[in-house]
Structure 1
Amino acid sequence: MAETKTHRVTVAQRALLLSWAGVTDLGRRRETNQDAFLAEFPLFVVADGMGGHAGGEIASRSTVERLQAVVSAGDVNGPAIEKALEQAVGDIADHPETTDEGTGTTLTGVFFAITGDHAQWVALNIGDSRVYLLRDDRLVQVTTDHSVVQELITAGKLSPEEAEGHPYSNVITRAVGASELTAPDYVTIDVRAGDRFVICSDGLTKELTDYGIQHFLREHRDPGHSVDAMLAAALENGGRDNVTLIIVQVEDEDDSSSPIEDTTE
């Protein structure tokens, strides 16, 4: 079973407990795993690499390693993340095995941030990996895909159902790669007890619908059990790509669902 980890923070004179688990898997049709993830408070991200030979694996790993250094430095914020991505682009470009101009990686996730006296989540995204939020028993996609089909959907030229089988369904319009530097999109989210985030590569969403993701969140409260169940279902449904996901959930002792203000120093 995937290991569930926890971090406790005192907020608004209450104990706020964050718990999470993550897993990555080769899938059933790939020869290499080009996904990577980082799940360490306060940053939780998934990177889905792309590129010939070992390129995708190098791109995702380089990006996650640079972000790990940001966590270790203890100052996770937008500018620090963007600086790390700039460094990752250099790492990818300089690596001897990343000669393919298409080499790069998606990046998506959330980090826990404090602005003034308030705690909040900040979701970030480059590419078509996704962040979902289950709140009040309703699942919503927090991030917006950077993909050709999403642009067509937004323009009203394609329905979500038609997008699933579109020939350009895997073509993304933004990436962290050797040939470009792109800042993430950011979405801020208030911190509420009971919230559960799913951060995943498209290897999961190719095999599970939003309804399926919501089903497994409802069935399994422990993040470790949830990620194991979703991974097993994705593999059973075909496992056509590498599958990576992280689940992060928020609880407090009095089970309140109101917004939380952070009072830690």
Structure 2
Amino acid sequence: MSIRLNPAVVSDIGPHRASNQDAAFTASWGAAVADGVGGGPSGDLASAALVHRLVPGPMRITEPEELLARIREANWDLRAHVRRDPSLQGMATTFTGIFVTPDDRLLLAHTGDSRAYVLRHAQLLRQTRDDSYVQALVDSGLLAPEAAASHPRRNIITASLGGGEEDVVSVAEREAVVGDRWLLCSDGVSDYLDDEEIGLTLLRHRDVGPAAEALVALALESGSRDNVTAVICDVVDGLADLHERAAFAGSAAERFQEQLDVIA
């Protein structure tokens, strides 16, 4: 049996932001969301540049080490942008993505506080740990998990990609199960909806497109003050098209590949 992704993405600037700093891509072989780090310059450029450099065309990944190397190469591109324009110093982005290997494994890459969830047998399972100040407080027992969503410093992250040699990203294998529904989302979703609301929304909609639209709409109705991006992928039986070019959303759609500096 072979597997592929059946994906959909919805990205909304939201009513409180002047630009969309979320970027995303989808394909039958992979999908990801990146969120420009708040408080830094050009978060929209950081997320879009990273995504475009990572997947300028179809992507064939066979091992975790190969994916990690590709992400690091894309991260170096951010450093090249800063060298060309010092005013961009400090720009950075989160990144969370899943990738199907030719032998039907699933690789999950993550840094920052954009999240990955999987809905399996009607149960929502979180697949990433936030790299954030608030998560560190929860882990140390200094903050109750239920208080994390309303903490005034919940948007301070402790890991991201900004072109630095010390930047950290994790890549891990996850079980690929036909029938699973994956959600990759920016914190404009996860900061405003609890796991129960997310899980019920994913369950209510048979198709990925309406599910993504409903999740983004619910986050906006719940008062999200950020950009809101949801990537939903159903794991289905079939061969991933390794020649398929990715579709882009958010800042990655607004900043087309040819508009980005190409760093040799």
Measured after TM superposition, the shift of residue 156 of structure 1 is 1.6
The question of whether the paired residues in 1 share the 8 Å contact of 2:181 and 2:232 is answered with yes
How far residue 181 of structure 1 moved from its aligned partner, in angstroms, is 4.4
Gaps of 5+ in 2: 243-264
Q: Indicate conservation of the 8 Å contact 2:61/2:100, yes or no.
A: no
Q: Secondary structure at the match of 2:104?
A: strand
Identity of aligned residues (%): 35
Assess, with a 3 A threshold, how the Cα gap between structure 1 residues 80 and 107 changes in structure 2: closer, same or farther. same
Question: In the alignment, is residue 175 of structure 1 matched against residue 164 of structure 2?
Answer: no
How many angstroms apart in 1 are the aligned matches of 2:47 and 2:87?
A: 12
SS in 1 for 2:88: coil
State the SS of the aligned residue for 1:214: helix
User: Could you say what secondary structure the match of 2:159 adopts?
Assistant: coil
CA contact (8 A) 1:89 1:181 kept: no
Matches within 5 A, 1:31-50: 31-50=18-37
C-alpha separation in 1, matches of 2:198 and 2:43: 26
Read off the aligned partner of 1:113 and give its amino acid letter: T
Of residues 98, 122, 126, the one that matches 1:137 is 122
**Mapping for residues 59-208 of structure 1, pairs under 5 Å:** 59-69=46-56, 71-72=57-58, 74-75=60-61, 77-96=66-85, 98-101=87-90, 103-114=91-102, 118-179=103-164, 181-208=166-193
Give the number of aligned pairs: 237
Cα displacement (A) at 1:252: 3.5
Aligned 8 A contact 1:21 1:224 in 2: yes
Larger Rg: 1
Alpha-carbon RMSD: 2.4
Q: Which amino acid aligns with 2:37?
A: M
Contact 1:59 1:92 survives alignment (8 Å): no
The alignment's TM-score, normalised by the length of structure 2, stands at: 0.82
C-alpha spacing 1:212/1:92, structure 2 compared with 1 (3 Å):
farther
Query: How far, CA to CA, are the matches of 1:142 and 1:122 in structure 2?
Result: 11
Cα separation, 1, equivalents of 2:163 and 2:171? 22
Equivalent position of 1:55 in the other structure: 42
Residues of 1 paired with 2:110 and 2:49: CA distance?
Answer: 17
Shift of the 79–162 alpha-carbon distance from structure 1 to 2, 3 Å rule, reads closer
Partner SS state of residue 225, structure 1: helix
Higher strand content, 1 or 2: 1
Q: CA deviation at 1:96?
A: 2.5
1:28 aligns with 2:15: yes
State the shift of 1:39 in Å: 0.9
Shift of 1:223: 0.4
